[in-house]
Structure 1
Amino acid sequence: MPAAPPPIDGVLEAALYVEDLDAAKRFYGDLLGLQLITEVEGRHVFYRCGATIVLLFRAAATRQPTSNDRLPVPPHGAEGDGHLCFAADASALDAWHAALTAAGIEIEADFCWPNGARSIYVRDPDGNSIEFAEPKLWGPDT
């Protein structure tokens, strides 16, 4: 029997699929303040969020095979609303609620889970479910 692989260190990238890259840039860059890393017009925009990179792709563009032999990334894409959760402590959640509301973003849900962790849910311009939650949602070790 082969040896077990080493443990995974974390999530390096998380991807969502959007149609309107300009609206995504206003939401993720301007409103949320994520740091822009790179973008390719009509295809994608990438942001840094802590140790994770948030990849925003136009699914139709990423389903096309690459013509770059140096970066042979397989085609991919998804349909329907995705989900991404940003970590925020309790005091930051109040500030996020106020900032999102002031920006005209509807708060879809704001509640506490059975363990006491609070979550706020909104939709990005393409309908993806975006959550802001206390890290204790997943236990004391997170």
Structure 2
Amino acid sequence: MQPSGILETALYVTDVEAAAQFYGGLLGLEVILRAGDESVFFRCGSGVLILFNANKLKDRPKGGLPIPSHGATGPGHVCFSATRDEIASWKSHLEVHGVAIESEFDWPNGAHSLYFRDPSGNSIEFAEPKLWNLQ
């Protein structure tokens, strides 16, 4: 047996409002659920990107839904799929909005990647699907 795909990905942020503006406003992801300053859920293709307030997870009261505790420390990483032309457009869009490009390069297999940071310091990447032979 093998999973058929990734349904959701979570990043942990220090400011849910700033993150919501970054991912929803700047990156254009559709908000599908918001829980105050604790979390925000975005549709991304056939999956969901969840942003959790890292500090609120620690203070979560016991009870409620039977979800095991989870979280991470330090910067996380997520990579969005994009064509080479889309990556060039994203680079221009990000620069116009004052987002510093951390790195941009071609992998040995010819795939192109662009890296930058969200307001909480998470590493965000746009890469061509051929990076993982997914074309």
Same structural fold, with TM-score higher than 0.5 when normalized by the shorter chain: yes
User: Gapped runs of 5+ residues in structure 2?
Assistant: none
Which residue type is aligned with residue 83 of structure 1?
H
Selected match of 1:104 from 98, 101, 108:
98
Identity %: 50
| Cross-structure match for 2:131 | 137
Aligned residues: 134
What is the TM-score when the length of structure 1 is the normalising length?
0.90
Residue 7 of structure 1, CA deviation: 1.7
CA-to-aligned-CA distance 1:116-138 (integer Å, 9 cap, x gap): 10000000000000000000001
Q: Retained in 1: the 8 A contact 2:17–2:37?
A: no
Greater C-alpha radius of gyration = 1
CA root-mean-square deviation: 1.1
User: Gapped runs of 5+ residues in structure 1?
Assistant: 1-5
Selected match of 2:39 from 40, 44, 49:
44
The ranges of structure 1 where at least 4 consecutive aligned residues each deviate by more than 4 angstroms after the TM superposition are none
Residue 114 of structure 1, CA deviation: 0.5
Selected match of 1:126 from 103, 120, 131:
120
SS of 1:57's equivalent in the other structure is: strand
Is it true that 1:77 corresponds to 2:71 in the alignment?
yes
Q: Retained in 2: the 8 A contact 1:85–1:130?
A: yes
The structure carrying a bigger strand percent of its residues is 2
* In 2: Cα distance, 1:51 partner to 1:65 partner: 31
Residue 67 of structure 1, CA deviation: 3.1
* In 2: Cα distance, 1:61 partner to 1:75 partner: 12
CA-to-aligned-CA distance 1:14-72 (integer Å, 9 cap, x gap): 0000011111011100000001010111210010100110010012222324432xx21
Is it true that 1:67 corresponds to 2:29 in the alignment?
no
* In 2: Cα distance, 1:67 partner to 1:44 partner: 18
* In 2: Cα distance, 1:65 partner to 1:134 partner: 41
